[in-house]
Amino acid sequence: MGEDVNYALDSLPMASFDDHVLNGIAGYDVFRRCLGEHLKGHVPRARWGWKHTRSYMTLQVIKEFLPDVQFVHVLRDGRDMAYAPHISYRVFWTGSSTDLPPSPEGVMALWSYTNLMTKRVAKVLDIPYLPVRYEDLQEEPKDTIEGAWRFFGLEGDVSEAVKLIRPNGHRYEGQKDLEKVTEVGRLALEEFGYL
């Protein structure tokens, strides 16, 4: 996954690439530089990947540079995201000029749109796509990890990976306006099996 990561284990070189694309200044040379930085110290021919929250916004460009790309779409219940204390429009949606916290309904609307569009874009671009719900990783880690490994054509014992999972609860339980927030995201919540 790379060594140059932030607190959330996002690949900083690939985050830089996403930022270049989103600012309209990315070409193959930028991609190669960022990918090279990401893969420093990586064993040749070994499997590799990266995690960055906004990679969904650059799928078209990634597909052009890596035609055999596979995409694992990790989702967390939009209601949990709606009540996340660290969310600002700038964090959640690139290009925003404010760090003010959005309303839970605003976060849910963005969560719904971005996740539905990510799934749709992967389908249109014919990118092998695997949605992985964060909650499934917590509740059924062995089965969920085995499913991801099958998606990548990997075999082996997942017991070490299972040990990395740290269960936690839902932020949205007991929150004010939960019914309203749920209704805003109903289509996506249903699409991804949350309702």
Q: In terms of Cα–Cα distance, which of 178, 166, 159 is closest to 134? A: 166
Are residues 80 and 138 both part of a single domain? yes
Q: Helix 12-22 and helix 28-38: axis angle, to 10°?
A: 160
Are residues 97 and 47 both part of a single domain? no
Domain count of the fold of the chain: 2
* More confident call, 25 vs 107: 107
Are residues 128 and 189 both part of a single domain? yes
Q: 61 pLDDT band (50/70/90 cuts)?
A: confident
Q: In terms of residue numbers, what domain contains 36?
A: 1-65
When pLDDT is averaged across residues 58-65 and rounded to a whole number, the result is 82
Looking at residue 84, its pLDDT comes to 83
Q: 24 pLDDT band (50/70/90 cuts)?
A: low
Are residues 45 and 84 both part of a single domain? no
Q: Provide the mean pLDDT of the chain.
A: 83
Q: What is the pTM of this model?
A: 0.81
Show Cβ contacts of residue 157 under 8 Å, excluding neighbours closer than 6 positions.
none
Are residues 180 and 143 both part of a single domain? yes
Indicate if the pLDDT at residue 176 is higher than 80.
yes
Are residues 22 and 114 both part of a single domain? no
Are residues 12 and 28 both part of a single domain? yes
Indicate if the pLDDT at residue 157 is higher than 70.
yes
Are residues 1 and 54 both part of a single domain? yes
